[in-house]
Amino acid sequence: MSWETISLGEFLTLKRGYDLPTSKRQDGDVPVVSSSGITGHHNVSRVQGPGVVTGRYGTLGEVFFVQKEFWPLNTALYVQDFKGNDQRFSAYFLKDILTGTSSNKAAVPGVNRNDLHARKVRVTRNVYQQRGIASILSAYDDLIENNRRRIQLLEQAARLLYKEWFIHLRFPGHEHVKIKDGVPEGWDKKPIGDVSPFKYGKALKKDDRIPGPYPVYGSSGVIGTHEKAMVTGPAIVVGRKGNVGSVYWCTSDFHPIDTVYYIKAEFCTTHLYYALLHTQFINTDVAVPGLNRDYAHSRTLPLPDNKILILFEEHTGIMHDQIERLTKCNQSLTKARDLLLPRLMDGKVAI
């Protein structure tokens, strides 16, 4: 293959994105892309697609391929000129060379565009080779995206089922059940603390984490991995600080940090998970947004009779099993793609 060593700036030109505060965005279908991906939409674009965006400040090393016209934010760099190279290949190429990128700014994480342009890289400029490599890698990404959409549909179906049965009270046999004080006969309402007490997570700073098989959960979801688990799954995680009231279902053993609560496996049901998703948690700390445990424990949950509860667990259990299989499949696909990426990019794997 025709590989050569050149500067990154000879291969493509990166440009800083454009400022667009949330308050100035108008309703539209133009994606607004930051260093962490699509973070909103607007009615005006600044760049025609397809395009490639990577982080300039904040999240570094991530690369996003955007099919349609878009607005790149000023926290990101976008490819202004592909110089005749394939756009999809350029995205994979940047992902390969930027993996593990660290900040050159002491106070605020960031990368310098001129430094990137000066970096020496080994690459093929044969567009037919580029398209061949991109087609192999995009096959993995297409499967991952398809599975992600299926997961979204399954999650949506389970939420709608909960809403239909336990909010609108149109559960199987509801026609023959009387409603008293807003609750069907045979049902109950109890405080969360009596049903499933919240446990505190434990601090685990980023510098203290040793990458491993166990996910680390914060109030925004999985924020890394660690070699040891603190909690045995399945469990439910609830945001305590930051993203207050966020709710996550975790099937594996994991480590919850001190910005979250967790509910032990013995109390976890899919009914409880979806009930918590529909519970109105508010910020109860004045200085720092937070969820007070006593307040959270005082919120009430609808508790159906055993027949309805078992039936709901059966329906949603099937959905969750499918979600878990698709999630594991995506993890395997991602691992295979990431192993193949550098081998394709340095010409070690022939196409």
User: Residue 250: CB partners within 8 Å, gap ≥ 6?
Assistant: 215, 217, 233, 234, 235, 236, 237
Q: What is the largest CA-CA distance in the chain?
A: 77
211 pLDDT more than 50: yes
Nearest-angstrom CA–CA distance, 163 and 157? 10
Tokens, residue 189: 């309402």
- Are 32 and 24 contacting, i.e. CB atoms less than 8 angstroms apart? no
Query: Given the DSSP bridges, would you call strands 199-200 and 214-218 parallel, antiparallel or unpaired?
Result: unpaired
Average pLDDT over residues 41-50: 94
- Contact (CB, 8 A) for 257 and 289: no
Could you report the per-residue pLDDT of 141-190, keeping only the tens digit for each?
999 999 999 999 999 999 999 999 999 999 999 999 998 888 899 899 99
Helices (H), 99-243: 113-118, 127-162, 192-195
Tokens standing for 136? Answer: 């192999």
Angle between helices 306-345 and 270-277 (to 10 degrees): 80
CATH of span 3-125: 3.90.220.20
Euclidean distance between CA atoms 247 and 184, whole angstroms: 26
Q: Which class is domain 188-303? A: alpha beta
Model confidence at 69: pLDDT above 90? yes
Mean pLDDT of the chain: 91
- 65 near 49, Cβ under 8 Å? no
The structural domains of the chain, with segments of one domain joined by +, span 3-125, 188-303
Banded model confidence at residue 347, pLDDT cuts 50, 70, 90: confident
| pTM, full prediction | 0.82
Same fold, 3-125 and 188-303: yes
Phi, psi of 320 (to 5 degrees): -70, -35
Per-residue pLDDT for 17 more than 70?
A: yes
